[in-house]
Amino acid sequence: MNLYLPIAEISVNILVLIGMGAAVGFLSGMFGVGGGFLITPLLIFYNVPPAVAVATGANQVIASSFSGALAHYKRGTIDLKLGGVLLLGGAVGSVAGVALFTLLRRIGQLDLVVSLLYVIFLGGVGGLMLVESIQSMRRVSGGGSGEFRRSGKHNWVHGLPLKMRFQRSKLYVSVIPVLGLGFLIGILAAIMGVGGGFIMVPALIYLLRVPTNVVIGTSLFQIIFTAAVTTVLQAATNFTIDIVLAFLLMLGGVVGAQFGAAAGRRLRGDQLRALLALLVLAVGLRLGFELVITPTEFYSISSPTGE
């Protein structure tokens, strides 16, 4: 069942794309992440032009985040105020990110920067998660609970001015790191086509000391908006959103996420994190490999605007 994608301008197999969406949806349901960081590289491996893969990835992320955020909203595990400040930073960040994206595309370095960012972030986050989860597993075998949280301890972030109170998160912190984090996630959403959950979640937990139960809901909530701003901007400036591609991925993703969530409940937290870490590292390595091996064709053609 082949289908021609209008914006990506390639012919693809519908079932492969729905399957891809379902597989990533399954993982995202299982690990509670958006899955953008897996979708975009997979699309690139499937020969979708990187610019289209990135922009369409952002579009797909909206669907899975919205689905997830709805569930968290019903359970009351979203800190709307914290999410609001984060998305303020996120919106500004995504404007900057799309401008940067356009510039990189014009000078022909977009593909490189996308790959490099993936290698750095996936390698970094994957490595840290792997180390952390292995330590946690050791603690379990040593008789501990497996979960750890250094609550009450303060770091440099809590010394910054312009403090604000976030009741639900039981936090009283400066808005600077919150806005800054949102801004960074916005840029990443635009350039990498990710929701940024894989950076947002650890940053909220370890940097801002947000309680774990509201972290995922709040992260998903702000990602919806950052990804939405990114999608509209990409569509208006770079014409790189492929709605047909995005829809096929969403379709698979929404279904896959449900089964993933059920599967996730049967695994222990540290095991889940170790598995996710290995997956993240594998994708990062694969992309890094592409940068190093000698290409078969040294030359490439593009239009002056990068299309």
Partner 1 sequence: MTGRQRTRTHSLSPSSGGIAAALMVIVALLGPARAQQVESFEIGLSTNEIAITSDFTGARLVVFGALDNADARLLRQQRYDIVVALVGPRRPVVVRKKERTLGIWINRGSETFNASPESYALASTRPLSDITRESLRVSLSLGIDDLRLNIRDPETVGAAMATEPVGQVIIGESAVDGEGDAVVNRDQYASALRRIRMESGLYNQSFGSVEFVSPTLFRADLRLPADLPVGRHTVRAYLFRSGVFIRGDSERLVVVKTGLESLIDDFATRYGFLYGLFAVALAIFTGWFGRIVFKRD
Q: Which residues bind to partner 1, rule: CB under 8 A?
A: 2, 4-7, 9, 11, 59-60, 62-67, 70-71, 74-75, 108-109, 112, 116, 224, 228, 231-237, 239, 241, 243-244, 246-247, 250-251, 254-255, 257-258, 261-262, 291-292, 294-295, 297-304
Q: Cβ closer to partner 1: 116 or 272?
A: 116
Q: Cβ closer to partner 1: 118 or 166?
A: 118
Q: How far is the CB of 90 from partner 1 (least distance, A)?
A: 15
Q: Cβ closer to partner 1: 178 or 228?
A: 228
Beta strand 163-166 pairing with 11-13: unpaired
Q: Cβ closer to partner 1: 180 or 197?
A: 197
Half-sphere exposure of 274 (CA within 13 A, CB side): 13
CA distance 256 to 204: 27
The neighbour count for residue 305, using CB atoms within 10 Å, is: 10
| Calculated CA dihedral for residues 36, 202, 263, 248, nearest 10 degrees | -10
Q: How far is the CB of 157 from partner 1 (least distance, A)?
A: 32
Q: Cβ closer to partner 1: 116 or 128?
A: 116
Q: Cβ closer to partner 1: 28 or 136?
A: 28
Q: How far is the CB of 189 from partner 1 (least distance, A)?
A: 13
Q: How far is the CB of 37 from partner 1 (least distance, A)?
A: 17
Beta strand 11-13 pairing with 2-4: antiparallel
Q: How far is the CB of 148 from partner 1 (least distance, A)?
A: 27
Q: How far is the CB of 145 from partner 1 (least distance, A)?
A: 25
CA distance 294 to 54: 24
DSSP secondary structure, 16-27, as one string: HHHHHHHHHHHH
CA distance 58 to 233: 11
CA distance 91 to 229: 6
Closest CA to 50 of 101, 125, 96: 101
Q: How far is the CB of 205 from partner 1 (least distance, A)?
A: 23
CB 179 within 8 A of CB 163: no
Q: Which residues pair with 173 in a beta bridge?
A: 164
Q: Cβ closer to partner 1: 9 or 147?
A: 9
